Amino acid sequence: MDFWGTVRVLRRRWYIAVPAVLLTGILALYVYITVPTRYESSGVLVLTSPAAGGRYSANTKPEDVVKVNPLLQFDGSLTTTAQILTQVLGDPKTAEELAGKGSTATYTANTGPVGGPLLFVSSEADSAESAEGLVGKVLEKTVNELAAQQKALNAPEQTFITAQILVKPTTASAKIGGKVRYVGAATVVLLLLTIASTFAADSIMLKAKRRKDKESGATPSEKDTTPAPLPPVRPHPQGPPLPPPQPHGNGNGGQPLRPAPQGMPNAHQKTVIIPAPKPPDPAWPTKDD
């Protein structure tokens, strides 16, 4: 059925379609209210090398150690360390430890599009306090895990890589995109059900009406099936129509002969010989005069 056919059915069964549409709006509003609002917060860590570099000797005096700016020593080792930390934070056991067992709060930790020594942490929770608190826990866990990994490798403490918090947990903001998607999906499904139920009710009612009309002895389409009377045939004002011209040629280039006017013979009629009239008496003198 085309679009206008659907519109006609909905208009004919408006007492079914209108309550269904109102019910759809109420259910969509209920879905929007019941789906919890998610809040998002984020934070950023940066890994830096020690000022004395990655080597340490106990025989070297502290004043003789060459010190450099840690911000000038971003190399591939810091990127590798950041990737190791993301793997540790992505462990399900670590996530359950930080978020809590059975909690709906989640977090992600990655090195971002740059892939350098930066570690980006973001979280989602049902409340703003939970989202901000989870980001703080992940940042603290990252600093402690970095120190624990270096101690486990027996690295000199003077060469430890340090993690500094560049961005503290941001103020959590509400995310309504998920709720809008849920409401949109529910609205589409309910509208489809509304149209389907309207068509089903229309079909049932039409069948019941036809059955009732059949039992009463008159079909609903009886008037439509009665043929319309033909218009009366008017007689030709000049009598019966002339017969059609014969298709054979007549020396006129094969063109059909035109009917001759009434009272005038044509080539197909019999030739009539009319005697010539006698001349009158001459006006000049003759022999008898």
What pLDDT does 191 receive?
84
State how many domains the chain has: 2
The rounded distance, in Å, linking the Cα atoms of 92 and 82 is 18
- How much of the chain, in percent, has pLDDT values that exceed 90? 20
Asked if 102 and 136 sit in the same domain, the reply is yes
Asked if 186 and 134 sit in the same domain, the reply is no
Asked if 17 and 50 sit in the same domain, the reply is no
Is 111 contained in some domain? yes
Asked if 49 and 166 sit in the same domain, the reply is yes
Is 219 contained in some domain? no
Give which of 105, 104, 171 is closest to 138, Cα–Cα: 105
Q: Domain holding 111: CATH number?
A: 3.30.70.1130
Is 156 contained in some domain? yes
Give which of 114, 54, 112, 110 is closest to 84, Cα–Cα: 110
Is 236 contained in some domain? no
Q: Is residue 105 within 8 Å of 123, Cβ to Cβ?
A: yes
Is 225 contained in some domain? no
CA angle 105/106/112 to nearest 5° reads 150
Instruction: Write out the residue range of the structural domain in which residue 28 sits.
Output: 3-33+179-209
Asked if 76 and 17 sit in the same domain, the reply is no
Asked if 185 and 123 sit in the same domain, the reply is no
Could you say which of 192, 209, 226 is where a domain stops?
209
Top mean-pLDDT range of 47-61, 199-213, 251-265, 274-288? 199-213
pTM score over 0.85: no
Is 215 contained in some domain? no
Amino acid identity for residue 163 in this structure = A
Asked if 28 and 154 sit in the same domain, the reply is no
pLDDT in tens, 173-195: 888 877 788 888 888 888 888 88
Is 163 contained in some domain? yes
The rounded distance, in Å, linking the Cα atoms of 118 and 45 is 6
Residue 220 has pLDDT above 80, yes or no: no
- 100 falls in which pLDDT band (50, 70, 90)? confident
The rounded distance, in Å, linking the Cα atoms of 187 and 21 is 10
Asked if 104 and 199 sit in the same domain, the reply is no
Is 243 contained in some domain? no
What pLDDT does 65 receive?
61
Could you say which of 174, 195, 220 is where a domain stops?
174
